[in-house]
């Protein structure tokens, strides 16, 4: 198994067939097939990494995604299939992220240092991606509020419905729609400047 | 860049990007997009945003993740161990009953057939000492057997060394009586009753 490529599991075209395949793999894993776990990881790692970045995690994406999967597999009996498996993973990842932030905040307040680090990472990405439009887009997304960035990423990068976003982010469907449209307006205004 | 005034159509643009619309909705939205510059611009923006977010995602080592995952306990195997089939328990119980029945038969035959007269004597003489609730009180006949099956009598009649075929009629009767009295559970099945109903509807029980 190799690193998750950027484009894999992009969420494009995901539908009921994908959800059904997830349920089949879960059943296979429960029956003792460890390869099913690898398949599930392969299907969802990239999306979880994107959501981690969108949620502000930049330094320990690997650990966060790993913790998400470990927690998910340890509590698979609690997954009833009300939402899709991917949405359920987003919910777990977001909860872990909030726990990490709280713990980190208790230790010390390093918000300014983190912002500097983040800027450095984005600068390094700039050198890789030459396209000016994409660079501007990254800047536009970066200036969104944390909630707007999460909702925007789940809607645009993963193609989740407002209902699924509401489930993952812990809000209402209507609030998710408002966050998305506010984010879109903010991105447009940024790009129009 | 302006927002399209048709909020419903604009709302579905990400679903069009991810091909999550059914055929009818897709055709309707495509027709709208063809004639709406604002929606075309927004759809182009969504494509750029989608590509940018994917490219900005760091690579994650999936082996690192898989190695940390718990191993699934094969549930079916666990269940087969913890839940023993009921028929197996019945089989064990039936085997136990057969063993007890076989041992009892062997004991009885040993006492009255191949065993010594002394053993038979002890069995019969000990019978009255048993609990009255468990075993019916023995009739006086076994006492006769005891008297007759003394070592001397045994030697004279051949009970000590002979088998059932060697016993005379009197000894066999005494043995049968003893066996009857050793039956641990009394027969409690009721006699069959037939109720006859005549043309007047009167019922008359029979067989009582």
pLDDT for position B179: 78
Give mean pLDDT, residues B84-97.
65
What's this model's pTM, rounded to 2 decimal places? 0.57
CB atoms inside a 10 Å sphere around CB A184: 25
Contact B70 A161 (CB under 8 A): no
Position B28 in a domain = yes
Residue B29 belongs to domain spanning: 7-65
C-alpha pair distances (Å), B145 with each of B127, B141, B178, B182: 13, 7, 9, 14
What band does B126 get if pLDDT is binned at 50, 70 and 90?
very low
Q: Which of chain A's residues have a Cβ under 8 Å away from the Cβ of B65?
A: 41, 45, 62, 65-66, 69
Of B15 and A56, more confident: B15
Which of residues B22, B45, B65 is at a domain's end? Answer: B65
Q: Which of chain A's residues have a Cβ under 8 Å away from the Cβ of B49?
A: 137, 141, 152, 156-157, 187
Distance from CA of B89 to the nearest CA of A (A): 27
**How do strand B203-206 and strand B194-197 relate by DSSP bridges?**
antiparallel
Position B204 in a domain = no
Segment holding B196, helix H or strand E = strand B194-197
Residues B159 and B104 in one domain: yes
Query: Which residues, other chains included, contact A67 with Cβ-Cβ below 8 Å and sequence gap of 6+?
Result: A96
Position B130 in a domain = yes
Position B162 in a domain = yes
| Distance of alpha carbon B58 from alpha carbon B34, whole angstroms | 36
Position B61 in a domain = yes
Residues B48 and B107 in one domain: no
Position B126 in a domain = yes
* HSE value, Cβ hemisphere, 13 Å, CA-based, for A9: 24
Residue among A52, A188, A161 nearest B56 (CA): A52
Query: CA angle, corner A133, sides to A132 and A136, nearest 5?
Result: 85
* The architecture CATH gives domain A11-109: Orthogonal Bundle (1.10)
Residue A123 pLDDT > 50, yes or no?
Answer: no
Residue B128 pLDDT > 60, yes or no?
Answer: no
Tens digits of per-residue pLDDT, B55-77?
A: 888 888 888 898 898 887 665 44
Distance from CA of A149 to the nearest CA of B (A): 11
Residue A12 pLDDT > 60, yes or no?
Answer: no
Number of domains, chain B: 2
Position B146 in a domain = yes
Of A174 and B86, more confident: A174
Residue B48 pLDDT > 70, yes or no?
Answer: yes
Position B91 in a domain = no
Tens digits of per-residue pLDDT, A41-90?
A: 999 999 999 999 888 887 889 999 999 999 999 998 888 888 899 999 99
One-letter-per-residue 3-state SS of B69-109: CCCCCCHHHHHHHHCCCHHHHHHHHHHHHHHHHHHHHHHHH
pLDDT for position A108: 61
For testing contact with chain B, the best of A9, A13, A25, A32 (most B CBs within 10 A): A32
Residues B168 and B125 in one domain: yes
Give mean pLDDT, residues B140-160.
44
In the numeric block, which tokens belong to residue A26? 């879960």
């Amino acid at each position: 198994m190799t690193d998750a490529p950027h484009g894999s599991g992009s969420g494009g075209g995901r539908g009921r067939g994908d959800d059904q395949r997830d349920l089949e793999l879960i059943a296979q894993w429960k029956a003792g097939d460890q390869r099913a776990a690898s398949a599930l990881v392969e299907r969802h790692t990239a999306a979880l990494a994107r959501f981690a970045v969108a949620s502000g995690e930049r330094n320990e994406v690997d650990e966060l995604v790993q913790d998400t999967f470990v927690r998910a597999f340890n509590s698979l009996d609690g997954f009833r299939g009300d939402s899709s498996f991917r949405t359920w993973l987003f919910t777990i990842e977001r909860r872990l992220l909030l726990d990490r932030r709280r713990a980190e905040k208790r230790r010390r307040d390093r918000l300014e240092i983190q912002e500097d680090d983040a800027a450095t990472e984005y600068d390094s990405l700039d050198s890789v991606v030459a396209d000016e439009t994409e660079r501007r887009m990254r800047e536009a997304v970066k200036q969104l509020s944390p909630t707007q960035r999460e909702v925007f990423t789940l809607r645009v990068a993963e193609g989740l419905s407002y209902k699924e976003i509401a489930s993952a982010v812990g809000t209402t469907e209507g609030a998710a729609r408002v966050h998305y449209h506010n984010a879109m307006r903010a991105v447009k205004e940024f790009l129009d400047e | 860049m302006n927002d399209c005034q048709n909020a419903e159509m604009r709302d579905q643009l990400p679903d069009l990007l991810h091909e999550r619309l059914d055929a009818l909705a897709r055709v309707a939205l495509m027709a709208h997009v063809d004639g709406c510059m604002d929606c075309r611009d927004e759809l182009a923006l969504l494509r750029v945003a989608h590509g940018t977010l994917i490219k900005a995602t760091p690579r994650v080592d999936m082996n690192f993740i898989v190695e940390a995952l718990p191993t699934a306990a094969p549930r079916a195997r666990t269940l087969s161990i913890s839940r023993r089939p009921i028929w197996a328990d019945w089989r064990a119980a039936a085997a136990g009953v057969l063993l007890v029945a076989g041992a009892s038969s062997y004991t009885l035959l040993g006492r009255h057939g191949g065993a010594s007269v002394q053993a038979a004597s002890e069995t019969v003489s000990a019978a009255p000492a048993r609990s009255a609730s468990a075993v019916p009180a023995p009739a006086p006949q076994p006492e006769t057997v005891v008297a007759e099956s003394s070592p001397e009598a045994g030697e004279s009649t051949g009970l000590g060394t002979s088998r059932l075929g060697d016993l005379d009629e009197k000894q066999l009767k005494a043995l049968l009586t003893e066996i009857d009295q050793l039956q641990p559970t009394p027969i409690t099945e009721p006699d069959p009753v037939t109720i006859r109903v005549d043309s007047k509807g009167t019922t008359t029980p029979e067989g009582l």
